[in-house]
Amino acid sequence: MIRRFIFILFIGLQFGNVHAQTKTPDQLYGQLFIDVQMQNVLKDGKTFVDCIPKRDPAKILEDYMKLKNAKDKFSTLDFVKANFILPDTNTTIVITGNKPVAAHINQLWEALRRKPANKIANSSLLDLPAPYIVPGGRFREIYYWDSYFTMLGLQVSGENETIENMVKNFAYLIKQNGHIPNGNRNYYLSRSQPPYFSLMVELLAQIKGDQVYSTYLPALEKEYAYWMDQSAPTKHVVIMPDGSKLNRYYDQLNTPRQESYKEDVLIGRQAGSKNPEIYRDIRSAAESGWDFSSRWLADGMHLNTIETTQIVPVDLNCLLYNLELTIQKCYALKHNTEKQKYFESLALKRKISMLKYFWSPQQSWFTDYNIKTKKQSPVLSLAGMYPLYFKLASLKQANLVKNVLQQKFLKPGGLVSTPLNTHQQWDAPNGWAPLQWMAINGLGNYGFHELEKHVAVRWINLNTNVYKRTGKLMEKYNVVDLDLKAGGGEYASQDGFGWTNGVLLSLMKKYGYAK
């Protein structure tokens, strides 16, 4: 009994005020949830978990079970349509693609803007106090790491109030839940995403001044406590062979994702008993934002060999290094020397450990580290550019990285996420806006300005040419064959698109492209 109480207490600590939130869709709808997802009733698994019931969920489930068993020609689709409000993926503003791309994006901000999210009975949506920008398409809520790159474009557009509102929303989510979830849905509460909150605070400080650091210090520290297993044992911390501490992605649940239930169940069946943590590994890849990539696959190719929780990722640890330095800066501004030195020492220890475990002299690249094999990953990815973005690399290392980048990653439309073509969406031939931004600025930090501009121009041209052909700005792009769409993934290619808009506007401004 005592053990059960401790477990319940742990779950309560784990998810902050999760008890105050509505039950998740699987808890509300039981067999109806399973049937809708496994039968592809709504085609995209995310649609049902975003639905709002028209009446009491318990009564809906009760009626479903009665009708399903009583009728020979029962239609689950008709039942869902009769009992739920389906989410609307259409924008409320008619957008035409015949304007210059910057003007198009400025109009898109309005289409992607959402009012404060109020609590709705039995909705999976988490409340937020201020307006925010969504990515677009099926992504109809705020997303964590997407939002930083979206903010870059909002800054160019003079949308400073929107930036501040989004930072306030993320601070609110930290206060309510102990961390920033993947997105503001209750089925995302078991995980976070790449911790860009410190970069958001830095961006807002550029706009409003250093008082921003003091305002958001409590939220920064609370997020740090989450990642460092201090507020609850989230298992994000890894003790390395030399005793130093680094971090990994680690979802708190080992069940199929609700928004991709069927896909996960099928992968789980393929894996069988080989990996009893298969669902956690899938979910943890979603926490990384790279869902999915050869980075996480034991054989480099097949999703049923996923082992995300065995990987210590270079990009995650760079972001946490920046979080430590940001907290250190907060205390420096408050003239708290003791706390300043403490976080400075944490950042230094992390830097030493990162350079030891992530730098591969053989591959001339910063790679992930596998704690199961106790070896560096053979997979090269653009995550290896994060040490250049955060100025962790030596000039010699940066020069070697630049050469590999040109040889293995640079394509006609920009940079591939990895050189491997696995049919996963975070591998070749796809390129993604956030990784272009990190790599381009990483090159600039070490004076490689010619290559920096070369990559940026290729990406700008690809984005604008696709826009001219289709009237759309996409979630991801095929950077290898400029006439083909990006592929892979569990869902159709999305347009909108928050982080593409943000990075494109910022690069156009930096390199003097006409609006």
Q: Does 181 fall in a domain?
A: no
Q: Which of 63, 85, 107 is the last residue of a domain?
A: 85
Side chain identity at residue 91, one-letter code: T
Q: What is the C-alpha separation between 9 and 455, in angstroms, rounded?
A: 50
Residue 23: its H or E element: none
Q: Which of 40, 68, 85 is the last residue of a domain?
A: 85
Q: What is the C-alpha separation between 304 and 297, in angstroms, rounded?
A: 8
Query: Is residue 291 among the annotated active site residues?
Result: yes
Contact 312, 238 (CB under 8 A): yes
Q: Does 498 fall in a domain?
A: yes
Q: Does 228 fall in a domain?
A: no
Q: Does 262 fall in a domain?
A: no
pLDDT in the model for residue 118 = 86
Q: Does 399 fall in a domain?
A: yes
Q: What is the C-alpha separation between 415 and 432, in angstroms, rounded?
A: 8
Determine the straight-line distance between the first and last CA of the chain, rounded to whole angstroms. 65
Residue 113: its H or E element: strand 113-114
44, 50, 146, 475: which is the annotated catalytic residue? 475
Q: Does 319 fall in a domain?
A: no
CATH of the domain at 367: 1.50.10.10
Q: How many domains does the chain have?
A: 2
pLDDT in the model for residue 88 = 78
Q: Does 284 fall in a domain?
A: no
Q: What is the DSSP string of 285-318?
A: HHHHS--S-GGGBTTSS-GGGB-GGGEE-HHHHH
Omega of the bond prior to 292 within 30 degrees of 0, cis? yes
Domain span including residue 456: 362-515
Q: What is the C-alpha separation between 377 and 373, in angstroms, rounded?
A: 9
Residue with the two structure tokens 């609006």: 515
Q: What is the C-alpha separation between 349 and 207, in angstroms, rounded?
A: 31
Q: Which of 85, 111, 132 is the last residue of a domain?
A: 85
251, 264, 291, 307: which is the annotated catalytic residue? 291
Cα dihedral value 391, 395, 400, 402, nearest 10: 60
Tokens found for residue 170: 């993320």
Side chain identity at residue 192, one-letter code: S
- Output DSSP code: residue 240: -
Whole-prediction pTM value? 0.94
Average pLDDT across each block of 10 residues of the chain; the chain has 515 residues. List them in order: 37 42 90 98 96 97 94 91 87 63 94 92 96 94 98 98 98 98 98 98 98 98 98 96 98 98 97 94 98 97 97 99 98 98 98 98 98 98 98 98 98 98 96 98 98 98 94 95 81 80 97 73
Q: Does 93 fall in a domain?
A: no
Cα dihedral value 299, 301, 306, 310, nearest 10: 50
Query: Is residue 63 among the annotated active site residues?
Result: no
Q: What is the C-alpha separation between 293 and 504, in angstroms, rounded?
A: 24
